[in-house]
A and B are shown apart, each in its own frame.
Chain A
């Protein structure tokens, strides 16, 4: 057990690419926690996708031993939190598990929207914050300007910011000293009943479910019987360890300490982030505040391109769901796309990460339908229903009104692009809330409907600002609006996979976009094909795919017959990838491209 005064628990708050993972690597190196030969980049990001995208999806932790300039030995626990809004709840729990944060800001880029969102969470959690300016060795670095910006925008005293270059190793000892001297030690009562927060959990092929906890009060030991207060399940502790970052067994964890245990838990679903872990026999009085179960906010259908892969997809989804309590699934059938799953995600990044893992780790080709948010249908009989899938939209005569989720978006952008951003947000039914300047950067806050953001908003944002804008959001509330279901009809047959919920004012534009896209994607047939977008029985956009006029082989003699026959056989194979709608055959690639999320 370690004396509380010699423990420091902290996280690192930063925007993507501002050097969070590199700084973590340097801290691990400088404290000799990992032998030099075992170091690899982004030590804490264990998934391929995390490394490639430079993002952190799961919370990770590492325990560092540090002898400070005062000659004392300290234990420093770093929790590397997910930096993305989709995982905001996980971030908030991780933040509650530590007492302080390093705020890492790129000295050439300055404060970004995501930095703000995370720093506010750190402040909410009551953290002491040490500003760290990274990349000070870059020619474009402007530490003074960025210092001023931190003070203006965030309101933190940045006068004694630590100046570093994580990449070149400059200033790392100063960071370690600042952690010890400027961040507070944890508090806790060793003699009180056990109270620990479940920070994260994951599935390990050898150990089963691994649970990360922060002990608040009391002591947890190997062999203890514990209870999870939200799920009310009891387990015996099989293994207790700390992460350095590999597991090192430890006999007990006391107040202020962070570690992991295993307890023969079968599924990650049985462990809830934010839950309180206590002893079965001598429980604590009340659980820690703030627990809430994960709520998916974005839904889409996932279908195998090859119908024969359905079973593989089912197994793959089950495996991923074991390790991700925030991901919900149910079976779905579509006339267009066959058997698949309707899946719920914490946000678009979460959706994309899951899709990518399914394709990569299970070698699947998937069709993803247009992402949809969860609408609240207020029925005339007073019932309120959640609508996850536009295909399930009931007859309008039973619906009194529809509410949609709104978000509070924060966008930071160089002022030359501000006009484009305002126009984009306006076009997406945004309501401006706030507009402030910090130097040559503008910070604008918008109230936006989430359904406009899941539809290619990031992409548009990136393209109109040449990638210079940063964007973050939190879900704010549900609000009534004039929302309708738009159907797509090909040769007068509705194509279920393409229907979507849209705002009435935006329906014409979205409908036009879709029918024009489809006109390019559906091959011509022997007859002309109307392609329509409709609301109820009313057509709001129409294109006509003209009939094919000429497709005949000029020469066909003895040897050519063999060649033509082979061509037909090849077309027979191709036809398997077509879906039939009445008389029209639509290739799967057309669905894939029509539904392509431009993110």
Chain B
């Protein structure tokens, strides 16, 4: 157990909880605020970096990720101060990946150069759709034209660029998605996150759906077809899926996210941020208070922005390992599963999933087939529930 996290590496996640407006499909921890005292926030982030840094002394940091919310609302100075402190705190790997999520609005694009100067070297832009009407339906503030301009600006500042699209949207047929995705691929991104629209509890969409007002969502057959089409087009364009919803040119995978999926360690800083830290042989799940004000207060008063830590049990380990690793094309290792859980995977279940062509087993490794990947939750139930 002690060194298991090294299989995944070590990263830092920073959560910026604010957005200009709340999107109707989004269930992330994001808030709309009029005025944000960036200096107060800076002090809090720096204090948390110091605290976690002391606990993880000696670790080599390989990634930093600014997520949100909309971290591209952060002022350049704030990002600069945070990354300076990160560099002072941890030894970094040679090719430290520093990603920032960004909205493709003009204001944000204006800050890209500052971020790059501060040390951000990868940007993940929330395009969401390449159709203005759909952007409106999704509650996005930007237009397709603005997004294009933001991409151009980003290209001048960052080495690596990814963007997100949401598909399986209302009234979206196969041909419409094919055209849209081809347009996206023509922009030559080296990384794409392509998510099927999911109606999450507690969102405006969920409320609309409950009232029967969210019409035109694809049925299961169409959503399977859309998924298949996505795999085919991306593979043909040289961006195969390396994870359920993520595609990259080989070598351009998001290394920070790979830490999650490979069950590495990551520190989570900021409101609602989760972390996983292995300390003295015990892995801990950390979680911060969700409300921005509560987090800020707690950091200021107690110099500690976390809720009570939960120790992870062997069962927690195998569950987290499988539910993450099987999302990846590379799959999971049976020996690591057994080492984490102190028990081997159930052979009978495994064999029937292989026989049903949901999983492929090659020596120590299992990975999903394309058919299996589409029913991953069912595979996990088979392998993890008695």
Contact = CB atoms under 8 A, between A and B. Distances in A.
A556 interface: yes
B319 A548 contact: no
A554 B320 CA distance: 16
A558 B268 contact: yes
A554 B198 contact: yes
A550 B220 contact: yes
Contacts of A156: none
Interface stretch (B89-97, B176-184, B291-299, B378-386): B378-386
A575 B196 contact: no
Contact of B13 (A548, A549, A558, A583): A558
A562 B323 contact: no
A566 to B, nearest CB: 10
A550 B323 contact: no
Contacts of A565: 316, 319-320, 323
A36 interface: no
Contact of A550 (B195, B227, B272): B227
B375 A561 contact: no
B196 A562 contact: no
B56 interface: no
Contacts of B266: 558
A551 B375 contact: yes
B385 A549 contact: no
A561 B376 contact: no
Interface residues of B, number: 48
A385 interface: no
A559 B273 contact: yes
B356 A526 contact: yes
A549 B275 CA distance: 33
Contacts of A561: 260, 274, 320, 323-324
Contact of A554 (B196, B273, B316, B381): B196
Interface in B48-105: 67
Contact of A555 (B195, B356, B377): B195
Residue with the highest number of chain A CB atoms closer than 10 Å, among B195, B223, B260, B375: B375
Contacts of A552: 244, 373-377
Given A549-B374, A553-B377, A558-B266, A526 B382 contact: yes
Contact of A559 (B221, B261, B272): B272
A572 B320 CA distance: 15
A468 B85 CA distance: 83
A527 interface: yes
B378 A548 contact: yes
B253 interface: no
A584 to B, nearest CB: 13
Contacts of B198: 553-555
B375 to A, nearest CB: 5
Nearest to A572: B385
Closest 5 CB pairs of A and B: A559-B274, A551-B377, A552-B376, A554-B195, A550-B374
Contacts of B386: 572, 575
B380 A556 contact: no
A583 B352 CA distance: 10
Contact of A568 (B13, B257, B381): B381
A553 B199 CA distance: 11
